[in-house]
Amino acid sequence: MSGLIVERHGPVLLLVIDREARRNALDAATSAAIDRQIGAAEADESIGAIIITGSGDRAFCSGMDMKEAAEIGVGHGLIPGHGFAGITERRRTKPLIAAVNGFAVAGGFEIALACDIIIAADHAMFGLSEVKRGLFAFAGGVQRLARQVPRSAAMSIIMTGEPVPAARMYELGVVSEVVPADQLRQRALDLAQAMLQNSWEAIRNGKLLYEMAADMPVEQGLRYGAAFGRATLQSADSREGIAAFSEGRDANFDRI
């Protein structure tokens, strides 16, 4: 598949942006290919989690392919209803992990911010460089920084367009882990595999409740949590998890 490598690692789908010569900038075709793969993964009950990363060690994704944009116009990597690369506006039920292997700038940073977990190589850099091109990060970068990062730090990222090291993003809570570059992809796979040893239903419900609660007052979030909790307490996975604990064995959850 031009521009994208797709691998299966058991229940984990690995997507590798493979445009290293363009610093893994996304042309319209690769953006559409990522969108299709994520849509297929959402419909595939044997896939529990998705990882996205880039080829090489220079860039995770440098955003929109500016050479293509100069030829055919900007915005062709935006998928209607799903956003840039089919990720930045999409509502997903399955965890998406960004393994940031180099520069994640402009739309590349927006993709990472839209993921559920970001793991970064120790040399990775993050930035919203759109202001240097007469644009701004409207596809989720500004909006997500506003929710995740203190105002002064966010404004500096948004207004200067300068790259920020992975270590600083870890301090700000945007990145969950910083690891040596040669361990990055394996660490992301290990995390996904460890995650999927748990109840997939509980993972989906926890993710959904978090996203709902982020948009509502805490009292309303607690009411939704109580409703989720009542259903969870009656679930087959809950019964299996409690029984496994009582019997001193690993739980055998339903993976579908």
- List, by residue number, the catalytic residues: 110, 130
Pairing mode, strands 164-165 and 177-179: unpaired
Detail the DSSP E strand segments found in 132-209.
Answer: 164-165, 177-179
Contact yes or no for 93/207 (Cβ under 8 A) = yes
In angstroms, the CA 108 to CA 87 distance is 11
Closest among 210, 212, 208 to 200, alpha carbons compared:
208
Structure tokens at 105: 């700038």
Dihedral pair phi/psi, residue 134, rounded to 5°: 75, 20
Dihedral pair phi/psi, residue 103, rounded to 5°: -70, 130
Tally of CB atoms within 10 A around 22: 18
Structure tokens at 232: 């969870």
